[in-house]
Amino acid sequence: MEHSVHVTRCKEYDPNRIRKQVEEHLDLYPKFNDLTGKKVLLKINLLSASDPKKAITTHPVFVKETVLELQERGAKVIIGDSPGGLFNPNSLKKAYEATGMTKIAEETGCELNFNTDSHIEKLPEGKFTKSFNICDYTRNCDLIIAMPKIKTHMFCGLTCASKIMFGVIPGTEKVKYHTRFPSMIDFSKMLLDLTVLSKVDLFLVEGILGMDEKGPSQGNPRDVGLIVSGIEHTSIDLQVSRMVDLDPNKLPIMIAARDLNIIKFDEKIKVTGDGADFKLSPPFKPAKGGALLTDPPRFLRRMSIYLSTNKPVISHKKCIGCGICAENCAGETIKIVNDKAKIRYSNCIRCYCCHELCPHEAVYLSMKESGLMNYVTDLAWNYFIGKEK
């Protein structure tokens, strides 16, 4: 396995500078030298229909300059992702418009994916998961470039190269994976298998503007100033965690990679480019208080969740009752009552899909409102009023 990563410094969304750097990165990978007649998929981060300034999605200037560079090398380019929530042409149209992708397609003539079909693929060599239902759009191309952002993640600790391919699972089906793998480590192991199945040819990471603390959608946009590339996802993520100073021992996605013997935390990575010695100052603030790192018995798990993790709380002022959180709730524990979302906490596994996907920032995470009283209240609820699932 090749533990090498190329890092360049890029502080702003200056098209010329980005174009030169994208060219420098692509030149390192022989597959991308002559793309005559090849169809290249850009698998971007399109988490939600949000303004690029919020640093939630891959920035349109970075995507556009990559499209232009690939077209110059002879490629036909298609942009795609399956965002959270419903996966249909309407929701895709909204997401493409809000994130600047529609404009890119108009200006460059590249294609936007609207195919929402999917199929089952087996992964006999999978270390943890042996088959997935994945979107067809990832297979209607010759080469795949994954374009993640550098963000913290409440569930996996870091979302970058090893997390981006979750977007090949169709829309709301992602929820099932949270239900099947409630522990962060197991979920991360599943993601590592999915990344192998996805057969990405190159990871081209946009770290110009990143996000820390409550990532991937409600954290602080942070000037990072990097473009990173490589072909081995865990090497990229380990190097990124070193550069933004996140401890891999506290990142479930890295712990999963170490436990599966994919990488060691003291692995020597060959880092090239003018950003090889980059160190972010001040460092990223980690995403604190996510779900559990281990999978203890149900009773202990529940109690630990209450005592040690942030609780998703609905802001009644901001909630408009659209129901997106309920549709995507892995614990099936959100209901819309009188046009407001209500969470029954006894089944909440702290996947934070509600927090990630609420388009109105009406779900905030709070440690203050967690704790023993909530635990006791929910136990009483279950005992006197309803049974746990």
Instruction: List residues near ligand SF4 by CB under 6 A.
Output: 312, 314, 319-325, 329-331, 333-334, 336, 341, 343, 348-354, 358, 360, 362-363
What letter does residue 371 receive in the DSSP assignment?
S
Nearer to ligand SF4, 196 or 336 (CB): 336
**Integer Cα distance of 73 and 180 in angstroms:** 42
Q: Judge whether 225 and 52 are in contact, CB under 8 Å.
A: no
Beta strands in 238-372 (DSSP E): 270-272, 311-314, 334-337, 340-343, 363-366
Beta bridge partner(s), residue 76: 39
CB of 277 to ligand SF4, least distance (A): 39
Comparison of 109 and 323: residue with beta carbon closer to ligand SF4: 323
Looking at the Cβ atoms of 224 and 314, the one nearer to ligand SF4 is 314
Q: How far is the CB of 316 from ligand SF4 (least distance, A)?
A: 9
Minimum distance from residue 384 beta carbon to ligand SF4 (Å): 22
Report the residue number, 102 or 179, with the smaller CB distance to ligand SF4.
Answer: 179
Of the two residues 72 and 339, which places its CB atom closer to ligand SF4 in the complex? 339
Cis peptide leading into 52, omega within 30 of 0? no
Inter-helix orientation angle 101-108/60-72, to 10°: 30
Encoding tokens for residue 19? 């174009």
Least distance in angstroms from the C-beta of 379 to ligand SF4? 17
Residue with smaller CB distance to ligand SF4, 126 or 289: 289
Beta strand 202-212 pairing with 149-153: parallel
- C-alpha pair distances (Å), 374 with each of 192, 310, 365: 34, 12, 15
Question: What radius of gyration, in Å, describes the C-alpha atoms of the chain?
Answer: 20
Q: Least distance to ligand SF4 from the beta carbon of 288, Å?
A: 15
Q: What is the DSSP string of 37-96?
A: T-EEEEEE---SS--GGGS-S--HHHHHHHHHHHHHTT-EEEEE---SS--SHHHHHHHH
Q: How far is the CB of 349 from ligand SF4 (least distance, A)?
A: 5
Closer residue to ligand SF4, CB minimum distance, 69 or 186: 186
Work out how close the CB of 323 gets to ligand SF4 at its nearest, in angstroms, rounded to a whole number: 5
Terminal-to-terminal C-alpha distance of the chain = 43
